Amino acid sequence: MEKPHFFYKTKEDTLAGQSLQQFINDCDAASETARLWALAHGVEVYYESANGMAGGIAAVEFSDDKPHEGWECIAEHGEQKFFAPVADSDLEKEMYALPVVSEFKLIGILNFKRRTKSDGTPLPITFGDTTPRLFPLQGYWYIDVPYECTAQGLESIDVKEFTNACHIVSFHNLRTQNPQTENAY
């Protein structure tokens, strides 16, 4: 079943816009804390917590094949080995104490309108296996979520306007990451 899409934009200076910025700041801070923790433990690659979360660490990889004190291999896929701290260790407690930010904060920020069964019973809110898309552009936040939202300052937009904004952001990111495309169209 295809998930529904509701597209919105809101000015950055509205309560919803400011709350979205704070949400992104919290996500960035949680991710940076996880990155610094991983570096401090000699980790080459780390995997953040489950879908819909920013920050935290679910598993790590090391650059060498040597055993690492306090870590146990939890899975192997070809040459890749995935590690987690030994159960009930101080290392595990440290890792589980890393901050995590959930996409469910968006429910309150955007004031999701609950869906109900025909008898009026509310259905649970779920994002399924995708994360809502949101990004700032030219003084607005653009939002794609699977629920109608009623937060003040949100303006419903069509898929074309949302897609155009996505293209502008993608092109800007391409130019920023690859200066040789500065004059490309």
pLDDT tens profile 52-67:
678 889 999 998 878 8
CB 46 within 8 A of CB 34: yes
Rounded distance, CA 67 to CA 127, Å? Answer: 38
Q: Check whether 28 has a pLDDT greater than 90.
A: yes
* Whole-number pLDDT of residue 3: 80
**Segment among 75-84, 126-135, 146-155 with least mean pLDDT:** 126-135
**Residues 6+ positions from 57 with CB-CB distance below 8 Å:** 34, 37, 38, 46, 47, 48, 49, 95, 98
Q: Check whether 94 has a pLDDT greater than 80.
A: yes
CB 56 within 8 A of CB 99: yes
* Whole-number pLDDT of residue 79: 85
Report pTM.
0.83
Q: How confident is the model at residue 180 (pLDDT cuts 50, 70, 90)?
A: very low
